[in-house]
Amino acid sequence: MRTAAVIGTGLIGTSVALALSRRGVEVYLDDLSETNLKTAASLGAGITGLPEGPVDLLIVAVPPGYVGATLADAQRRGLARAYTDVASVKNAPQREVVSQGIDPSSYLGGHPLAGRERSGPLMGRADLFEGRPWVLTPTSATGRDALNRVLELISLCGAVPVVMDAADHDRAVALISHAPHLVSSLMAARLEHASEDAARVAGTGVRDVTRIAAGDPALWEEILTSNAEAVADVLDEYAADLAGVISALRELAAAGAGETGTIDAVETVTRTVTQAVTQAVTQTGREPHGAEPAVVPARDRLVDLLRRGNAGQSRIPGKHGAPRAAWGSVPIVISDAPGELARLFAAAGAAGVNIEDLRIEHSPGKAVGLVILQVAPEAAESLAVHLGERGWTVQR
């Protein structure tokens, strides 16, 4: 690939342009936002404006609802030999390609599964797609030339191609991306009016759960609208599970309130929440995963949900897309000062230990934190000893 054009210079479009420019491809940029366009160009993503002659590949990096019209306009103007998009929803844009009269042989839908909490060109990174899946949704009409050019794009960006049906893709991202964003937002919304004491002691757990809630509301409104039905299906099941958990917790709370009135309270709570679950099942047409028969003790129902959570979480791929591995943890107290992390990494490197992953926990109101190094299980003890001997405070 010698030339490419990117329409849309947000996070993904700018990152694609940066990756291609780094590999020597001449990239042309276009965007309705003059600010975004100039910012992306200043970062070295490419040249502002579209060329007169066709480029090898045009990448449409606009919100899902605008993909079809943007593609149709680009094809009518003959801007490229092949076309693709990077929208996070694929079924609706694919239908638009047909309705807009776009030549389907020169178009191949795509979706790189990479991103950051914040949007905009300033968040763009040339290495954003390294090792990440990049879904392709070809149809029977997709031409070989378009396929080859998009595969070359993925290769230049360092991503891994994955072929999926468009509808299957949308159901998958509803489960692994779109519904989680809403759940994260729901949790974060609980913090808006939280007490100062609650906010002050917020730790790693709530940060992990709410991290993606920092996304751009306007962008996510576009994404969720384009995949509304699939996301609603996931949340229906989530709501049924949640009703089951509430039922169990209310029963446990009532049981712990004392013997007097406990039986009546439990029966009342159980009856109320069972009605809510029954209503959820009627509306969704499916049996809730978390709603067990009333005869099952509340504690068992709660533990069952937690165990299912363990099982589901273990299916998330680990490093480089490989099956998740059980790493050894080495927690180290570290001061919040320049160069401390680099010094710690150098010490681990001197011990001959590869850091597979890490987590940083900040201490509220203190200039120290806890860095938890994830390493091969057999290396954890020796690394802890090595660091302790060199003055690091290792928590045992």
CATH number of 7's domain: 3.40.50.720
User: How many angstroms separate the CA atoms of 174 and 88, rounded?
Assistant: 10
Q: Which of 210, 226, 242 is the last residue of a domain?
A: 226
Q: Is residue 293 part of a domain?
A: yes
Check whether residue 19 and residue 82 sit in a common domain. Answer: yes
Check whether residue 61 and residue 157 sit in a common domain. Answer: yes
Check whether residue 218 and residue 238 sit in a common domain. Answer: no
Percent over 70 (pLDDT), the chain: 87
Q: pLDDT tier at 267 (50, 70, 90 boundaries)?
A: very low
The yes-or-no verdict on residue 262 having pLDDT over 60 is: no
Check whether residue 257 and residue 174 sit in a common domain. Answer: no
Q: Is residue 88 part of a domain?
A: yes
**From the CB of residue 260, how many other CB atoms can be counted at a distance below 10 Å?**
8
Check whether residue 11 and residue 157 sit in a common domain. Answer: yes
The yes-or-no verdict on residue 280 having pLDDT over 50 is: no
Check whether residue 335 and residue 380 sit in a common domain. Answer: yes
**From the CB of residue 378, how many other CB atoms can be counted at a distance below 10 Å?**
9
Check whether residue 121 and residue 236 sit in a common domain. Answer: no
Q: Is residue 318 part of a domain?
A: no
Check whether residue 209 and residue 278 sit in a common domain. Answer: no
Q: Which of 278, 313, 348 is the last residue of a domain?
A: 313
The yes-or-no verdict on residue 192 having pLDDT over 50 is: yes
Give the pLDDT of residue 260.
39
Give the pLDDT of residue 56.
97
pLDDT tens profile 199-219? 877 777 888 888 889 888 988
Q: pLDDT tier at 279 (50, 70, 90 boundaries)?
A: low
Check whether residue 245 and residue 335 sit in a common domain. Answer: no
Check whether residue 237 and residue 302 sit in a common domain. Answer: yes
Check whether residue 243 and residue 212 sit in a common domain. Answer: no
Q: Is residue 319 part of a domain?
A: no
Check whether residue 13 and residue 155 sit in a common domain. Answer: yes
The yes-or-no verdict on residue 14 having pLDDT over 90 is: yes
Domain count, the chain: 4
Describe the chain by its helix, strand, coil percentages, rounded to 5.
Answer: 50, 15, 35
Q: Is residue 239 part of a domain?
A: yes
Instruction: Domain of residue 333: give its range.
Output: 325-394
| Beta-carbon-side half-sphere exposure of residue 59 (alpha carbons within 13 Å) | 33
Q: pLDDT tier at 365 (50, 70, 90 boundaries)?
A: low
Kindly state the average pLDDT of the residues 337-359.
88
Q: pLDDT tier at 278 (50, 70, 90 boundaries)?
A: very low
Give the pLDDT of residue 268.
46
Q: By C-alpha distance, which of 310, 189, 178, 301 is closest to 242?
A: 301
pTM summary value: 0.73
Percent over 90 (pLDDT), the chain: 54
Q: By C-alpha distance, which of 15, 36, 29 is closest to 86?
A: 15
The yes-or-no verdict on residue 317 having pLDDT over 80 is: no
81 against 216, higher pLDDT:
81
Judged on CB neighbours under 10 Å (0-12, 13-18, 19+), 219 is: middle
Q: Is residue 364 part of a domain?
A: yes
Q: Which of 70-79, 86-95, 315-324 has the lowest mean pLDDT?
A: 315-324
As a whole number of angstroms, the longest Cα–Cα distance in the chain is 83
Q: Which of 131, 147, 164 is the last residue of a domain?
A: 164
Q: Which of 122-131, 137-146, 288-297 has the lowest mean pLDDT?
A: 288-297
Q: pLDDT tier at 175 (50, 70, 90 boundaries)?
A: very high
Give the pLDDT of residue 359.
81
pLDDT tens profile 289-314? 544 444 578 899 999 999 998 888 88
Give the pLDDT of residue 319.
55
User: How many angstroms separate the CA atoms of 366 and 199, rounded?
Assistant: 15
241 against 272, higher pLDDT:
241
The yes-or-no verdict on residue 18 having pLDDT over 50 is: yes
Most confident residue range from 94-98, 118-122, 134-138, 345-349? 134-138
Query: What distance, in Å, lies between the first and last C-alpha atoms of the chain?
Result: 54
Q: Is residue 320 part of a domain?
A: no
